[in-house]
Amino acid sequence: MLSLHGVVPKSTTPPTTARAVVNDIYRYELRLLRDRYLVGEFSKQAYYDKVVEIRNRYPVMTILTRFWTLDV
């Protein structure tokens, strides 16, 4: 799931670190979208729809980090 966002943590990477990286990417995408909206590239409603699209691409952000590891 993380690899979809270009994040491939090692087995030694703490879940909080991996989440922070994904969060930074997520927020970066939202900022780019906001900048595009502010220059008038699309309407406010289209902006809202695009924000929802981005949120839906990051379901991992809704998972608590304590559940980011697998006990194998």
**Residue 54: partners with Cβ closer than 8 Å, 6 or more residues away:** 26, 29, 30, 33
Predicted model pTM = 0.81
- On whether the CB atoms of residues 29 and 54 are closer than 8 A, the answer is yes
**Residue 57: partners with Cβ closer than 8 Å, 6 or more residues away:** 4
**Number of other CB atoms surrounding residue 22 within 10 Å:** 21
Give the whole-angstrom CA distance, residue 31 versus residue 39: 13
What is the 8-class DSSP label of residue 27? H
How confident is the prediction along the chain (72 residues), in pLDDT tens digits per residue? 676 777 777 888 888 898 999 999 999 999 999 999 999 999 999 999 999 999 999 998 898 888 887 664
